[in-house]
Structure 1
Amino acid sequence: MRIVMFYHSIISDWNHGNAHFLRGIVTELLGRGHQVEVYEPKEGWSLTNLLREQGEIAIRQFRRMYPLLDSKQYVAERLNLDQIFEGADLVIVHEWNDHEVVRKIGEHRKRNGYYHLLFHDTHHRSVTDYDSMNAYDLSGYDGVLAYGTKIRDIYLKSGWTKRGWVWHEAADIQVFQPHSPMDYAGDVVWIGNWGDDERSEEICEFFVEPVKRLKLKGMVYGVRYPEKALKLLEKAGIEYGGWLPNFDVPKVFNRYRLTMHIPRRPYASALPGIPTIRPFEALACGIPLISAPWSDCDRLFTAGEDLLYAEDGFHMERQMKAVLDQPLKTEQMVNHGLKTIRERHTCSHRVDELLRICTELGMDTSLPRNRKIGGKG
């Protein structure tokens, strides 16, 4: 197939977790012989912040890691959709796009029925910013890919779409895989952004305080940490490493004895069944994982066999101690988690799911024909 994707960014993962999944999906599609083009807004928020903080070296690192991946930057007012969609079979538009861009693409689809059009939601705004999501005009779209059953059901119940499919994120196991054993740099690492009011309290309860009480050697990577957060980490004896390219995460996981997942509050309280992408990536790397509470109602993992859960900060402390003190049991859990990812939750599995959805829509999912697609926005 010839596939066009409108996303916030494939180049930058600065406070932009969707880039992780997008890179894996595009890599998988290209590897199967499909043609894919990704469009992202010129001077998008994530890329602008990455360049401001890290400079051009971050872009060069991305290109070395993903030589086959790239994007075409567009200015919304200058989009030539006739040229961009020429010969397209499938167009996917992510929900981080501007409302007007989403509307324009939908109107183009109404006038030109030769391709199918899907909207992709990987965020919590359907419950935290309902009015904004309600303002999207999806009348020209064939349906919605939602990364959780709860979000899909919100779209259907709200009348935003007539068709919706659950399309969870997953691990790109070409990048996220266990590395050869090496000396540990510390006991526990957490990789995540501060999250403002969405999980600042949870970071303290489930990470900072247990590490402090157990006197463990801890490390944090992420962005948007205010001065008060940095002082909190310093007081607890936890190092802060700043931004970490996502493709370097497996090497970091390999140097620590455990990690944890701390979901943002909307996922823990209002959107059950959505772990976001970090647990998939951690389990794929073979590092023991302990998670703060979230409801796995979509049955992605098996508690106690793939990962451990902690009900509160003191329970997290006990779970950390158990992982560190019981290496054989921990190894069994790691192996089970790795098996679960490889059997159910890779980007290859998600591409299979996407192609089944395309078939359901009546599409021909065979490899590209000799038609040209593209153009600059």
Structure 2
Amino acid sequence: MKIVLFYHSLASDWNHGNAHFLRGVCSELIRKGHEVKVYEPEKGWSLENLMNDHGPEKASEFQSYYPTLETNFYAPEKPDFSAMLSGADLVIVHEWNPHELVEAIGEKKKEYGYKLLFHDTHHRVVSDSDSMEKYNFSNYDGALVFGEVLRNIYLDKGWMSEVWTWHEASDAELFKPLPDVQKEGDLVWIGNWGDNERTDELMELLVKPIKELGLKAKFYGVRYPQIALNAMRDANIEYGGHLPNYKVPEVFARYHVTVHVPRRNYVKILPGIPTIRPFEALACGIPLISTQWQDKEHLFTPGQDYLVANNGEKVKEQLQKILQNKSLSGQLAENGRKTILNKHTCRHRVEELEAIVEQLGIAHELTIPLLINPLEA
């Protein structure tokens, strides 16, 4: 298949978690012999912030980790749809795109003859419902959404007649244990602080337990307000700033444990949706403590793949268990990695996508993987 994708950015993951899954899926599609074209707008918000923080050369660094990937830039004020859409079998448009682009690509569908899917990996359905209501999905064949609760909302609102739950997953080729890396500390947390979406939770479930246990810890991410930096300094937590996602395995390998603290909307309004971070942590074989999140879709096995803690005292208790019990720590790491490899890799998601497009009427022969891996040719 020729697959054309419109996303905010492939090149930058600065406060842009969608790039994580996108890179892994595109890599797998290419491995399986599909032609992939990713388009992102010139001067996109995430890429501009990345280059402001680290310099223009940072924009292409991801390609040293993903050598088969490249991005294509278009002028958002005047997209060349003929160049971008000609010959496409499947087009996927992500929900970070503006309403005008979503509608325009829908209108071009009849002219170019592709199948068209919308991809939703965010909580805007509940946090910014007015904006979501303004999208024109009339020419779309369906939507890919990253949780069953989101799928039900799409169907209840009548936005689409076909909606598939398409969970995020880990690129297991890159996200894997690195046992030869020396440990540097006890706990690492990788995440963006954001817009006060989980400030209270981060203070209670991370900062306070770290301080009370006297752990050697480090946080990575962007958009940390001064109140967060002050609290971290008080708890002797080191701040590492922006961490490119492709460097996450190297960082996880230096620490004994990590913690998943979901944003409030995924706890209270969209329960059951796991964001990309737990998939990546488990793939890397670092013991994980998950707070507040309910695995309503039975993607993992709580207590075996990770430990659960829903308040600060329980986090302290679980941290002590992992840090003091090498047998438990090793078992969690092994179980988590095994679950990812069995069910939640980007290869699994590509196979799910191939099955979906066959339902849409794309010929079976277009979805058959090549017998030769293009990376090995």
- Same fold by TM-score greater than 0.5: yes
CA contact (8 A) 1:4 1:38 kept: yes
Deviations 1:115-166 (A, max 9, x none): 1000000000001111101110010100000000011111111111111000
Q: CA deviation at 1:181?
A: 3.2
Deviations 1:222-260 (A, max 9, x none): 001122211110110000000011111101100100001
Name the SS of the counterpart of 1:77 in structure 2. coil
Partner of 1:116: 115
Deviations 1:267-302 (A, max 9, x none): 011111111000000000000000111121111111
Partner of 2:258: 259
Deviations 1:7-50 (A, max 9, x none): 00000000001100000000000111100000001111100111
Partner of 1:50: 50
Deviates more, 1:256-265 or 1:291-300: 291-300
Deviations 1:343-362 (A, max 9, x none): 00000000000000011111
Q: CA deviation at 1:368?
A: 8.8
Distance 1:51 1:366 in 2: 42
Distance 1:254 1:143 in 2: 39
Distance 2:258 2:293 in 1: 16
CA contact (8 A) 1:35 1:368 kept: no
Q: CA deviation at 1:365?
A: 4.5
Name the SS of the counterpart of 1:112 in structure 2. helix
Measured at CA, do residues 60 and 361 of structure 1 come closer, stay the same or move farther in structure 2, by a change above 3 Å?
Answer: closer
Deviates more, 1:327-336 or 1:313-322: 327-336
Partner of 1:364: 363
Paired residues for 1:1-377 under 5 Å: 1-109=1-109, 111-112=110-111, 114-367=113-366
Distance 2:305 2:27 in 1: 26
Partner of 2:375: none
Distance 1:337 1:151 in 2: 25
Letter in 1 for 2:156: K
Q: CA deviation at 1:72?
A: 1.2
CA contact (8 A) 2:47 2:59 kept: no
CA contact (8 A) 2:74 2:80 kept: no
Distance 1:241 1:366 in 2: 47
CA contact (8 A) 2:87 2:112 kept: no
Name the SS of the counterpart of 2:43 in structure 1. coil
CA contact (8 A) 1:179 1:250 kept: yes
Q: CA deviation at 1:367?
A: 4.5
Deviations 1:97-129 (A, max 9, x none): 0000001011111x3362100000000000111
Distance 2:344 2:319 in 1: 25
Name the SS of the counterpart of 1:259 in structure 2. strand
TM-score, normalised relative to structure 1: 0.95
Distance 2:366 2:172 in 1: 23
Letter in 1 for 2:130: D
Distance 2:27 2:268 in 1: 33
Letter in 1 for 2:174: V
Measured at CA, do residues 153 and 337 of structure 1 come closer, stay the same or move farther in structure 2, by a change above 3 Å?
Answer: same
Distance 1:169 1:190 in 2: 20
Deviates more, 1:71-80 or 1:200-209: 71-80
Letter in 2 for 1:8: H
CA contact (8 A) 1:214 1:317 kept: yes
CA contact (8 A) 2:354 2:367 kept: no
Aligned residues: 368
Partner of 1:373: none
Structure 2, unmatched stretches of 5+, are 369-377
Deviates more, 1:67-76 or 1:10-19: 67-76
Q: CA deviation at 1:364?
A: 1.7
Deviates more, 1:216-225 or 1:79-88: 79-88
Letter in 1 for 2:333: V
Moved over 2 A (4+): 180-183, 365-369
Q: CA deviation at 1:67?
A: 2.2
Name the SS of the counterpart of 2:82 in structure 1. helix
Deviations 1:286-319 (A, max 9, x none): 0000011112111111100000111101110101
Letter in 2 for 1:217: K
CA contact (8 A) 1:195 1:264 kept: no
Distance 2:334 2:184 in 1: 22
Q: CA deviation at 1:81?
A: 1.6
Deviations 1:184-238 (A, max 9, x none): 1100000000122101111111110000000110100000112221111011000
CA contact (8 A) 1:2 1:368 kept: no
